[in-house]
């Protein structure tokens, strides 16, 4: 287990004494990820926002040096996300941005973020992204690439608040316009995520206001 977090909402209502454990996941958790996907996909109007990853895909993430972070309330998976080495369109995005081969080798792609609708409002997206940043640093990575649907304002705001910068706008195969965001964390140690100071933080609120 990585850490325990206190939750304040369940099904949109304030609650007390509700805690969740954040941990690294392995093959024994893959069925839980599928159950969570089904819960999440049924709650969103545009199904193309979230692409299903089967068990083989998840196994390849771990086999190629990536990791998956999960958040459990007792035995129920309520949120998860993954980081994996760049490939496919994400690798092309890095080339388009002008990232060097050395930097690409020090990059994770962060994605497949899901939060159970019953547990929204607990900043779980931010908690999972902070955890992915910390774990990436611990694994020797200094760069993270991620993508978000342009319409997903809440997720975009969370990502920007942690120092990511928009680099590209691309339309995927489903016709969804997405922002491609990139962030670099130099010289940090595991656990320093909340202490990070970014050069562009002064402009962050202006940038968000412009986007919104």
- Record the pTM: 0.87
Structure tokens, 68 = 């998956």
Band (46; pLDDT cuts 50, 70, 90): confident
Question: How far, rounded to the nearest angstrom, does the alpha carbon of residue 53 sit from its chain's CA centroid?
Answer: 15
DSSP conformation letters of 129-179 = HHHHHHHHHHTT--EEEEEEETT-HHHHHHHHHTT-EEEEEEE-TTS-EEE
pLDDT at 204 exceeding the cut of 50: no
> Domain 3-211's class?
alpha beta
Are the beta carbons of 163 and 192 closer than 8 angstroms? no
| Three-state DSSP class for residue 211 | helix
Each domain of the chain, given as residue ranges in start order, spans: 3-211
Q: Give the DSSP letter of residue 43.
A: T
The pLDDT, as a whole number, for residue 109 is 97
For 4, 53, 114, 143, the CA distances from 135, given in Å and listed in that order, are 15, 21, 18, 12
Mean pLDDT of 18-24: 98
| Three-state DSSP class for residue 65 | coil
């Amino acid at each position: 287990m990585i850490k325990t977090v206190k939750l304040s909402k369940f099904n949109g209502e304030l609650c007390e004494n509700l805690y969740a454990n954040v941990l690294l996941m392995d093959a024994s958790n893959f069925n839980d990820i599928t159950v969570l996907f089904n819960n999440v996909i049924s709650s969103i109007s545009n199904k193309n926002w979230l692409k299903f990853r089967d068990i083989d895909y998840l196994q390849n993430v771990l086999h190629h040096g990536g990791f998956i972070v999960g958040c459990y309330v007792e035995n129920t998976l309520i949120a998860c996300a993954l980081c994996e080495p760049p490939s496919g369109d994400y690798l092309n995005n890095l080339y388009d941005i002008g990232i060097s081969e050395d930097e690409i080798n020090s990059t994770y792609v962060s994605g497949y973020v899901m939060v159970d609708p019953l547990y929204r409002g607990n900043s779980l997206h931010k908690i999972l992204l902070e955890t992915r940043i910390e774990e990436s640093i611990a694994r020797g990575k200094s760069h993270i690439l991620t993508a978000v649907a342009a319409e997903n304002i809440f997720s975009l705001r969370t990502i920007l608040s942690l120092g990511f910068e928009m680099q590209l706008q691309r339309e995927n195969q489903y016709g969804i316009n997405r922002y491609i965001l990139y962030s670099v964390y130099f010289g940090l140690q595991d656990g320093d995520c909340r202490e990070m100071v970014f050069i562009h933080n002064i402009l962050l609120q202006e940038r968000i206001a412009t986007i919104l």
